[in-house]
Structure 1
């Protein structure tokens, strides 16, 4: 990594990387000219396996070994605006594939991107911390995509920068804003009240790092520490924390407008995989929405299991699409349905921005309490209801009007 980036960003998901690009565009740190650079992005998804198969782009199927560009050399001359992006990839193949595609876009925009493995082995976190320590200490501004990440919180113990920016990590941003305002420890909403004795012991051991991170996310006039949130979510910040709206201006400038199909597209969720929603109830809801709205395609969340998607395809006839980029970019590139139906998730807040002026209607179907699992967090229903009720420019579909399709 070349020395002394002005801004150092840490991302662990494709959406976080997208939102760093949106932040850079909003702050005018993109290279001069700003012409679309789409050489790394095919104009159409790479292939389809038919109506009952899964369609993907090339990223998820590409070899997982880092390519030569993962060393951090940008395509454009210099790291634009002093921004350097460090990717801390998860282990699941779909996320890694999308991250590689987003990293290629970031390089096409002129930013330096470093791919840093921090998972997968016992020593990986320690090696990554050692490799990044000097740059973390030298950066004037730190940008993070997941304030709940334990690895990011560990990195924050090394930070000397006076400015910290939190970009969206989806609906988790809403909980982050609420927890920091209340001075609570940072815990993902779907994990509150779960974990048992072993989980409580792990939290106790990690408490010093978590507490230090929470202080870092609190502005302090005495030390000159500034904290900003860059988000599409409906949040209220506390104290002197700054709030700036992410309206997906970079996405709209670089992609689209999309070609619209006559049908309806459904957007998948990982609520089953996180243990919040019962698999059978979710399948019934998708089946009913498919029949009621004439849906033909299902855009899978990158964390949805292959077995669940196979069953959805077989029982509903939906074409399962595994996007190789975040849905905001996939939808903006098109083709996309004139109506997009989602369960409570990030996209009910971001798609109205990304698809502004295209004529697409975004609808959200709330989650029936009967669909929740017995192990779901006590906060699950109220949190999901909040995600739905605060969404702007969307059409509401009440769960009670979605009959079981048996």
Structure 2
């Protein structure tokens, strides 16, 4: 079914919005005339600078561009085959800033983008639900970026669409496909149960919503409903689910190829912030990788705290960079190191696609089980190992590259 204004997408992170644009491109439904984006200036910031929420200022256009990009107050551009994309932004400034930059790119591509606050107050989710209810019921195709999101699951109770599409929200897609195959409750891999009686009561009240979401993602045979997973991850569809591979064709068509530097870049992770990896162990690992591989820059994850980044910079001498766009776009636009080091994360699956043919080597460093915190989910060790083991076209660092435990 070709996408059109009857296709409604919900995104809550910059990566999800990028993957919605990739999905539209892969389906051959992106509106004609999207201008080239390689000339958009790099607005990445160094750690320690203000993490204010940037506005959607018009970006300098290439000579062939017919019109400048619209600002945040401008009316959305709506192409004949454009999607309607609803951004449900989180509260942290870095994520919101990247989302606004990505929203500008989506508008440049001819899609309609609606910024809908759904957090920040007790009544905000209900106001957003009421504002979106009519469009959700009317949509024939619904695209979601985070099937684990409680707000997305709540919206799914209103969905009447015959086609449901799940685009990558990183490695969580691997767990989503595995859990739906087993008929399990949708729970993030790093989440630990417990929380006392209030948390258990909240889970009990929410159970009917979660159950409805699971049924939406696993349609019965003959129901006439389909579920497509659009992913760069190594997943195997099941039941009525189909898979479309995300090879980042839109990113490669719009950006780069990048200029390569002689240095090595290191990609940060939020494993400390999610309570999976001990902060001290993580610092030791970054220090070791920096020394052994000559890393000079550290691309921070949008959720990494300023305090942690400051400590990393002081301990290693790395230049800390906070990207203003998802790393796949930053790396493709360049300049970028000839080698990119990462811990087990989404980028070890996505960067080989985005940087195909550029000569960049992506390398992954395993997470030693001794780095895990005492409160890490029991699934953490196996999940992180699986992320590394299934990565395509990456270099596996030898065991001695990791700091010794103790």
Q: Shared topology, TM-score over 0.5?
A: yes
Partner of 2:235: 235
Q: Do the aligned partners of 1:83 and 1:111 also contact (CA within 8 Å) in 2?
A: yes
Structure 1 residues 70-118: Cα deviation after superposition (integer angstroms, max 9, x where no partner): 578333xx33414110000000000000000000000011100000000
Q: Which residue of the partner structure matches residue 64 of structure 2? A: none
Instruction: Please tell me whether residue 173 in structure 1 is matched to residue 173 in structure 2.
Output: yes
- The answer as to whether partners of 1:368 and 1:400 remain within 8 angstroms in 2 is no
Tell me which residue corresponds to 1:201.
Answer: 201
Aligned to 1:275: 275
What SS does structure 1 have at the residue aligned with 2:180? helix
TM-score, normalised to structure 1, is 0.92
CA contact (8 A) 1:54 1:321 kept: no
1:215–1:380 Cα change, 3 Å = same
Does residue 62 of structure 1 match 2:62?
no
- Distance, in Å, in 1 between the alignment partners of 2:200 and 2:148 is 16
What is the rounded CA distance, in whole Å, between the counterparts of 1:285 and 1:379 in structure 2?
21
In 2 relative to 1, CA 38–261 (structure 1 residues): closer, same or farther, beyond 3 Å? closer
CA distance in 2 between partners of 1:138 and 1:380 (Å): 39
Match of 1:366 in 2: 366
| Structure 2 gap segments, 5+ residues each | 57-69
Give the Cα–Cα distance (whole angstroms) in 1 for the partners of residues 399 and 13 of structure 2.
30
Rounded Cα–Cα distance in structure 2 between residues aligned with 1:55 and 1:252: 30
Distance (Å, rounded) in 2 between the aligned partners of 1:346 and 1:82: 27
The aligned counterpart of 1:379 is: 379
Return the TM-score normalized by structure 2.
0.92
Q: CA deviation at 1:261?
A: 0.5
Specify every segment of 5 or more residues in structure 1 that has no aligned partner in the other structure, as ranges. none
Match of 1:98 in 2: 98
State the Cα distance separating 1:404 from its structure 2 match: 5.1
Which aligned pairs between 1:269-308 and structure 2 lie closer than 5 A? 269-308=269-308
- The residue correspondences of 1:1-400 to structure 2 (distance < 5 A) are 5-37=5-37, 41-42=40-41, 45-46=42-43, 53=47, 60-62=52-54, 70=72, 73-75=75-77, 78-400=78-400
CA distance in 2, matches of 1:219, 1:24: 23
Q: CA deviation at 1:61?
A: 4.6
Shift of 1:400: 4.6
Please give the secondary structure, in 2, of the residue aligned with 1:81. coil
Distance in 1, matches of 2:348 and 2:322, equals 18
The aligned residue for residue 65 of structure 2 is: none
**In structure 2, what is the Cα distance between the partners aligned to 1:207 and 1:266?**
40
SS across alignment from 1:250: helix
Identify the range of structure 1 (216-225 vs 107-116) with the bigger mean alpha-carbon deviation: 216-225
Question: What SS does the aligned partner of 1:262 have?
Answer: strand
Confirm or deny: 8 A CA contact 1:7 1:139 kept in the other structure.
yes
Please tell me the root mean square deviation across aligned C-alpha atoms, in Å: 2.3
Q: Contact 1:118/1:125 (CA < 8 Å) preserved in 2?
A: yes
1:122-159 per-position Cα deviation (integer Å, ceiling 9, x unaligned):
11101100100000000000000000000000000000
Q: Give the SS at the match of 2:190.
A: helix
3-state DSSP of counterpart to 2:81: helix
Q: Matched residues in 1 for 2:227 and 2:277: separation?
A: 34
Deviation by residue 1:289-346 (Cα, 9 ceiling, x = unmatched)? 0000000000000000000000000110000000000000000000100000000000
Distance 1:286 1:194, change over 3 A: farther
Q: Distance in 1 between matches of 2:232 and 2:359?
A: 20
Question: 2:60 — aligned with what?
Answer: none
Which stretch shifts more, 377-386 or 220-229? 220-229
